A and B are shown apart, each in its own frame.
Chain A
Amino acid sequence: MKILVAVKRVADPENMNKIKLSPQGKIDTTGLEPKASPYDEYALETALRLTENGTNTKARLGEVVVVTFGPKETEPMLRAMLGTGADRAIRVDSTDEALDGDVVARGLKALVDSEKPDVVLLGYQQAESESNAVGQMLAEYLGWPQATFAGSIQSQDDKAFVVGREIEGATAELKVTLPAVVTVLDKIVKPKSVQSKHTPATHTYSDGVRFAALMAIMAAKKKPLAEMKLSDLVPDATLKVRYASAELPPKRAAGSKVKDVKELVTKLKTEAKVV
């Protein structure tokens, strides 16, 4: 099975409360370390689990191609992902200003047309814009089914996936016949969330994403990393949405400390009037 994983480099999600506003009223992430969007890392882990036997992860039993839309500076992220286990990488040269979800979806559509993967995996949303749209748009452009909010995937002989979609207070089980687009939540990297065609059902993965071994990082330098032009994939990259400005939300000021439960209940009754 061949899987295309779309990934995005973002400002450090663990420190996003340090975001500032530039004098021009734009979001300023200076000082925040660039990282892969965590949900996209989960998508890569999912792709690796689907293309291997968990009891012998050295043998690749499929192909995983990671793709990002971004400037040259995103290449270390792709190299790191090659070290983690991806087989190839593609960087579509572009800057965030030239992109919206629709352009990315159309670019991915063009890549899918040439790469012909069985599955496209993405994080359910990227950690900066949090639009939660590219996967669904891509599925529509391709005329493919989609499974969003995936917390679990069970491969049926790589012909179909039964996906557990985590929705409000429930899990909706959806069967998609491949090829399909799947967007994943953090729960997808739990030890038993991905049941691949190759891995025995008794196998238990460690919780979370895998880390690259030093040898693998060295070997990854020889893995192919291709560069493409956005205009080759999307000849008319007119944006359908544009950010006019930004603002910082009002800060919630720290309130008061109460000395005991009695005072807390009094304040909730007489001051806040919520109980």
Chain B
Amino acid sequence: MAGTLVVAEIADGKVKKTTQSAITFARQVGGPFAVVVVGSGAAGAAKELAGFGAQKVIAVDSPALVCEKLAPTVAKVAKDGGFDTVVVTASSYGKDLAPRVAVKLGAGYAPDINLVKVDGGKKLYRRPMYAGNAFGWLEVTTPVQVVSVRQTEFPAAEASGGASPVENASPAPDEPAAARAEHLKLVTGSSERPDLGEARVVVSGGRSLKEQFKQVLEPLADALGAAIGASRAACDAGYAAPELQVGQTGRTVAPQLYIAVGISGAIQHIAGMKGSKVIVAINKDPDAPIFQIADYGLVQDLFVAVPELVTELKSRS
């Protein structure tokens, strides 16, 4: 069938929420779509995706954890089903995998798109470039196309009911590269807070917080149920854990509320958060560039303003 193949992302046998952004893309372009789930416990995970309106959910149970194993299988499923578009969410999983799949399919690749437009059957993809300072409209000239979509601009699809049939398929035979890539372990941060990419509120701190980074920001994050982020400078200086970095080389976030505390607003930081709905900046330097994009700016010493903000939020909640 022609149509779209959504590549699901699973971890520990469970579907990751990122998958629902790729489903949103499939719904937006219209036409039939199927979902492929590859990994350990794929059949169980596939059932979680049966209520999203897919024609079918294809489960490939395989111990695959590396893209050298995943790509041949995804490409095989795409070829066997005759799909014209393969989509994955542009998480690190999707960005790692999609280009290899594109090469296998002889397909053009539209990476990290933030909008799709269908014009007379032809798809046009809009993607941020130049640290978010320009959008390019991309055309793919090959019959088969591979796309990765930004989670921040393709909101998670809601279940639509129904029960898509789950079909089992076998993995593609291993290629030589698969024997030369071995996943050793995953070292995760021990945070109880919401994930940066999915939090409704993000509280981010800059280098000026110094050793008091946690002490100042955690009460504010607690008061708002927020995830904690950081500028690159704060991470580089060791005040914040590297996985908290928001910006071009860190995470891209677009929460309902982003509070930048003591962040000056370097271009590479702004690239990672300017899609936020409401931006608050707290900085004692009135000329900090962050104020140029903030909806609400407070020029004050953060060590005074943040504790006061915590008290005020608590007293008026």
Contacts and interface: CB of A to CB of B under 8 A. Distances in A.
Partners in one complex: yes
Interface of A: 11, 13-17, 19, 21, 27, 39, 100-102, 105, 124, 127-137, 139-141, 143-149, 151, 162, 165-177, 180, 185-187, 190, 207, 238-249, 252, 254-258, 260-262, 264-265, 267-269, 272, 274-275
B248 to A, nearest CB: 8
Given A127-B130, A130-B112, A272-B295, 20 more contacts: A16-B130, A27-B136, A130-B111, A140-B104, A143-B175, A145-B66, A149-B92, A168-B197, A170-B188, A171-B186, A172-B187, A174-B182, A186-B232, A186-B249, A240-B107, A240-B141, A244-B124, A249-B128, A269-B316, A274-B257
Contacts of A265: 309, 312-313, 316
Nearest to B306: A261
A191 to B, nearest CB: 11
B177 A143 contact: yes
A16 B243 contact: no
B267 A268 contact: no
26 contacts: A15-B267, A16-B130, A27-B134, A105-B103, A127-B131, A129-B129, A131-B109, A136-B96, A136-B100, A137-B99, A140-B100, A145-B178, A166-B243, A168-B92, A168-B196, A172-B186, A175-B182, A176-B180, A185-B249, A242-B141, A252-B292, A255-B297, A264-B309, A268-B257, A268-B280, A275-B257
Interface of B: 66-68, 71, 91-93, 95-100, 102-104, 107-112, 124, 126, 128-142, 175-189, 191, 195-197, 201, 224, 232, 236, 242-243, 248-249, 251, 256-257, 267-268, 270, 274, 277-280, 291-300, 305, 308-309, 312-313, 316-317
Contacts, number: 269
B249 A247 contact: no
Nearest to A252: B293
Contact of B138 (A175, A180, A242): A242
A165 B66 CA distance: 12
Contact of A249 (B92, B100, B135, B180): B135
Contacts of B195: 168-169
A21 to B, nearest CB: 8
A108 B86 CA distance: 25
Nearest to B247: A186
A275 B313 contact: yes
Nearest to A109: B103
A169 B184 contact: no
Contacts of B242: 151, 166, 187
Nearest to B188: A170
A19 B134 contact: yes
Contacts of A180: 180-181
